[in-house]
A and B are shown apart, each in its own frame.
Chain A
């Protein structure tokens, strides 16, 4: 039995480990196209602020980890998949046969359609190699324009701001992190950034990146007529699945590789996991690309199980959730944070102290939440959502005070009694 896993991110790495556990005898190959050992993109922002070294980004710290598990690592790009022949072609021209194939190739940054985006000094921030460029160029006295205030844009802001550079963020949407935060929270985050000397332009589109005049080599022209001189331009305008190599393979691709509840693609013996997979969503029951770490891990684990043992393990859907640290302000979002038809909500907002909680209910069940400035017990929001716990009277209490999420969980899950020792 030969398992091939393409992609050495979290989904791929978890999958090969799980495959090894379940199929001790089979041959397992992990194919990755980046030169470094498998690493985590989640860690890149911390590498940028020099909190960790490169090794700190590695998914597995033991250099011999994959050797010890008998997993073969191929540093190659997969150029084609032949589903009929059950083989993959690598960039060095060789082909490898498989019994089961897992596509875990993740995503790559979308290059925005802006004239001049190919200029020198314009970088995405996605790979370790991108990060090294940014570390080299982001210095005190330099001017940086960050195009895109989404998740990636925000998470690297601290690195850019602490470098001492002059930072401007340009976001086409009317608020920051529009996929995680509503107007209220998104604009609180903007205010937070501006108070920390990061210039944030929302509802602003970059029309062109031109050659600069004077000291700055670049000039970012916006649709409001303003132009910003810059030494470095970083694009963070979203990612898309890495699935071009599947063209002609018969594997159906929409936003990502289409999979069923077993993480199997439209083709037998081909599975997909992680950011490349259009997997099942816990809240909607529909299929979408979540592109988050916990979902990647869950996919990798379940896909591997189904590859190794047959289709025993049904994916009940992952909760779409995220946590983000923007210049020290923590935001999080869970599942249907924007609410659902026929549901109701609760919200608290304290602007001056940067605290915000938004809860969404359907009947007396929590179905979504987003928070700003909250770091204590946020995970219980996931628990309340995923367990579909009936809140009964606690829904009303949460509507009065949405910060009492932990109390609601405890009150609804713990067997209660009173003072056995005094009464």
Chain B
């Protein structure tokens, strides 16, 4: 059963543990500026909203990539950027209608959530359960996606993503 990140903004306190976990796992540094997940603050309303890639079925980023640098990890369903293939053209950053693929000046490549290969650190680090990694048929998850995608063209008659070998990870633990 594939799993997905479930984001529940009503539980978020704005501590940014997720951003630090993410940046540490991916970049080896505690640095919210390099996190793939972002917590947005709404001061007047007194709330926070964590947000990252929902690994959407449409995979806008993947289909927009001119050089096949974004692939599906068959084990997790995550759309992953192959850093060695990405040329840094940034087309995916404008193609993703959720704004969750960002260009990194430091690496000259794009970065996005890859579910940490199936063990997302943001979910592990979240102290309040605002970010959880759940079975992808979780009803709350469906609702979250439906909200996020309202108004966008209906899902995918894209060619099914071709299966790739699972990436090897050289991770901190």
The answer on a CB contact under 8 Å between B99 and A17 is: no
Q: Which residues of B contact A42 (CB under 8 A)?
A: 66-67, 87, 89, 91
The answer on a CB contact under 8 Å between A59 and B152 is: no
Against B, the Cβ 8 Å flags (1 = close, 0 = not) of A57-69 are 1111100000000
Against B, the Cβ 8 Å flags (1 = close, 0 = not) of A393-423 are 0000000000001110111011111111100
Binds B, one of A111-119, A193-201, A251-259, A376-384: A376-384
Binds A, one of B21-29, B72-80, B101-109: B101-109
Using A21-B160, A56-B85, A382-B97 as known contacts, say yes or no to A330 and B90 having CB atoms under 8 A apart.
Answer: yes
Q: Which residues of B contact A18 (CB under 8 A)?
A: 158-159
The answer on a CB contact under 8 Å between A40 and B67 is: yes
Which of A10, A305, A379 is B97 in contact with, Cβ under 8 Å? Answer: A379
Distance to closest chain A CB from B109 (angstroms): 10
Which of A377, A381, A386 is B151 in contact with, Cβ under 8 Å? Answer: A386
Using A61-B68, A301-B157, A375-B105 as known contacts, say yes or no to A415 and B147 having CB atoms under 8 A apart.
Answer: yes
Q: Which residues of B contact A301 (CB under 8 A)?
A: 63, 157-159
The answer on a CB contact under 8 Å between A406 and B97 is: no
The answer on a CB contact under 8 Å between B148 and A419 is: no
Closest A residue to B140 by CB, please name it.
A415
Which of A59, A383, A413, A417 is B66 in contact with, Cβ under 8 Å? Answer: A59
Chain A interface category by residue count: 35 or more
The answer on a CB contact under 8 Å between A294 and B40 is: no
The answer on a CB contact under 8 Å between A383 and B153 is: no
The answer on a CB contact under 8 Å between A418 and B46 is: yes
The answer on a CB contact under 8 Å between A418 and B91 is: no
Closest A residue to B10 by CB, please name it.
A417
Q: In the complex, A18 Cα to B10 Cα: how many Å?
A: 41
Using A43-B87, A410-B51 as known contacts, say yes or no to A56 and B10 having CB atoms under 8 A apart.
Answer: no
| A98 at interface, CB cutoff 8 A | no
Using A42-B89, A52-B87, A416-B9 as known contacts, say yes or no to A60 and B157 having CB atoms under 8 A apart.
Answer: no
Q: In the complex, A57 Cα to B89 Cα: how many Å?
A: 11
Q: In the complex, A420 Cα to B10 Cα: how many Å?
A: 6
Using A375-B105, A416-B9 as known contacts, say yes or no to A386 and B153 having CB atoms under 8 A apart.
Answer: yes
Q: In the complex, A375 Cα to B85 Cα: how many Å?
A: 20
| A290 at interface, CB cutoff 8 A | no
Interface residues contributed by chain B, number (CB under 8 Å):
55
The answer on a CB contact under 8 Å between B103 and A379 is: no
The answer on a CB contact under 8 Å between A43 and B42 is: no
| A46 at interface, CB cutoff 8 A | yes
Q: In the complex, A46 Cα to B94 Cα: how many Å?
A: 19
Q: Residue among B46, B91, B153 with the most chain A CB within 10 A? A: B91
Which of A21, A383, A421 is B98 in contact with, Cβ under 8 Å? Answer: A383
The answer on a CB contact under 8 Å between B11 and A59 is: no
Q: Which residues of A contact B88 (CB under 8 A)?
A: 46, 51, 325
The answer on a CB contact under 8 Å between B108 and A413 is: no
Using A387-B152, A420-B11 as known contacts, say yes or no to A377 and B90 having CB atoms under 8 A apart.
Answer: no
Q: In the complex, A417 Cα to B38 Cα: how many Å?
A: 19
Using A42-B66, A414-B147 as known contacts, say yes or no to A323 and B91 having CB atoms under 8 A apart.
Answer: yes
Q: Which residues of B contact A381 (CB under 8 A)?
A: 94, 99
Using A40-B67, A60-B68, A297-B63 as known contacts, say yes or no to A375 and B93 having CB atoms under 8 A apart.
Answer: yes
Q: Which residues of A contact B104 (CB under 8 A)?
A: 375
Against B, the Cβ 8 Å flags (1 = close, 0 = not) of A314-342 are 00100001110100101010100000000
Using A46-B88, A58-B67, A380-B98 as known contacts, say yes or no to A313 and B10 having CB atoms under 8 A apart.
Answer: no
The answer on a CB contact under 8 Å between A382 and B94 is: yes
B interface with A by C-beta (< 8 Å): 8-11, 38, 40-42, 45-47, 49, 51, 60, 63-64, 66-68, 85, 87-105, 108, 128-129, 143-144, 147-153, 157-160
Beyond the given A375-B104, A380-B97, A388-B151, please list 13 additional residue pairs across the A-B interface where CB-CB is below 8 A.
A46-B87, A58-B67, A61-B67, A321-B94, A325-B89, A377-B99, A380-B99, A381-B94, A386-B151, A387-B149, A416-B47, A418-B10, A420-B10
Which 10 interchain pairs have the tightest Cβ spacing?
A380-B99, A387-B151, A383-B97, A377-B99, A40-B66, A417-B10, A379-B96, A46-B87, A375-B103, A42-B66
A interface with B by C-beta (< 8 Å): 10, 14, 17-18, 21, 40, 42-43, 45-46, 51-52, 56-61, 293-294, 297, 301, 305, 313, 316, 321-323, 325, 328, 330, 332, 334, 375-383, 386-389, 405-407, 409-411, 413-421
